[in-house]
Homo-oligomer: A and B are copies of this chain.
Amino acid sequence: MVCVNLKERSYQIIVGKNILSSLGRRCGALKLGSDVFCVTNAFIRSRYGKIIDDSLARQGIGCRFFIVPDGERSKSFAQCKRLLGALAGFDSGRRVFIAAVGGGVIGDLAGFCAAVYKRGIPCVQVPTTLLAQVDSAIGGKTAIDLPEGKNLVGAFYQPRLVVSDISLLATLDRRQFASGMAEALKYGIISDPRLFSLIEDKAGFLGPDDAGTLRVIVEACSRIKAKIVERDERDENGARMILNFGHTIGHAVEAAQGYGGYTHGEAIALGMLCACDISRKLRMLDEKSACRIERVITGLGLPSKISGVNPAAIAGPYSRDKKFKGQSRLVLLAGIGIPRIVEGVPFALVKEVVRKRIA
């Protein structure tokens, strides 16, 4: 169990095996409401719907499922409006709250809807992918996309509880799993050499059903993210910026391919490798650490070469990244566990490094 300490917005992250059936009891203990609007996808509904419903019913909490289609496209105004209309229809005037049971898309969409429905109702995050468990379900960043850009509309809105059931990861396919591991590895690289070593040791063998190791990894990542969010809840003072390690160039790779080819984690892996390359060129990072990082990334089944993307196409979105604000500010590395925010990285250097990574 990890605590996120944010005064009256504090909450717990529960990490464990087969804990989905405790959802009702935990929501009941927090007195979140008498009805829950459970936002999820068709697969989770069919596989875990009864466990969720029974768990809530034992506490006298009424449950209505709302199914969101898979994929980033669901982080849209249209889905947001559909969800809020259905929620208003379900809301009988008793106290209603939202449970987001799914990956990052569902967490973002449902979290945002919880933030704005009646100016804020309680939200419980039940992340079901590794990526969501180690990262997106924690910290209160919620958003939907506009045609003009990703995550342009959103809110800082902390959940009241996060329940990360490791057992739910067992059904992840290899690629989804590797994508989550990329984000977990990021936490090791930016802040926890022991976590990095653990992933390094297991990289080739770790699978989605290795619950013991995954529990350690998810809990470690949750703890790191909680500490960073506590220092910088609203992304204001720079503490949260180190979470962008690998993300500036990673987002550019994602955007350049139209968000079709690489998963988020794969793009972030490529972004981390480029950030390491730049750190090497700037003589900040030793060769051994850079090699270790690359070896773990390939060991996890993540790409180390950018393919199917035009380098010119990367430069465009990269320079428009909203983290950028006209300056080439990047999170680089001075060693494993030692991130550095560096201002004024020459754009030519970024381009050179990206070009060398192209297959």
Contact = CB atoms under 8 A, between A and B. Distances in A.
Contacts of A349: none
Contact of A119 (B81, B88, B89, B141): B141
Q: Which of A116, A149, A154, A325 has the most CB of B within 10 A?
A: A116
A117 B84 contact: no
A249 to B, nearest CB: 18
Contact of A148 (B85, B93, B234, B326): B85
Given A77-B77, A85-B147, A146-B85, A152 B117 contact: yes
Nearest to A154: B119
Contacts of A81: 77
Contact of A153 (B117, B152, B156, B234): B117
Number of copies: 2
B148 A89 contact: yes
Contacts of A85: 146-148
Nearest to A142: B119
B116 A116 contact: yes
A120 interface: yes
B93 A320 contact: yes
A229 B307 CA distance: 56
A174 interface: no
A31 interface: no
A293 interface: no
B155 A88 contact: no
Interface in A56-99: 77, 81, 84-85, 88-89, 93
Given A77-B77, A93-B320, A326-B93, A116 B153 contact: yes
Contacts of A234: 119-120
A255 to B, nearest CB: 15
Given A93-B326, A148-B88, A155 B77 contact: no
7 contacts: A88-B146, A88-B148, A93-B324, A118-B322, A119-B141, A119-B143, A119-B155
Closest 10 CB pairs of A and B: A88-B148, A119-B154, A77-B81, A116-B153, A88-B146, A119-B156, A88-B152, A119-B155, A84-B153, A116-B155
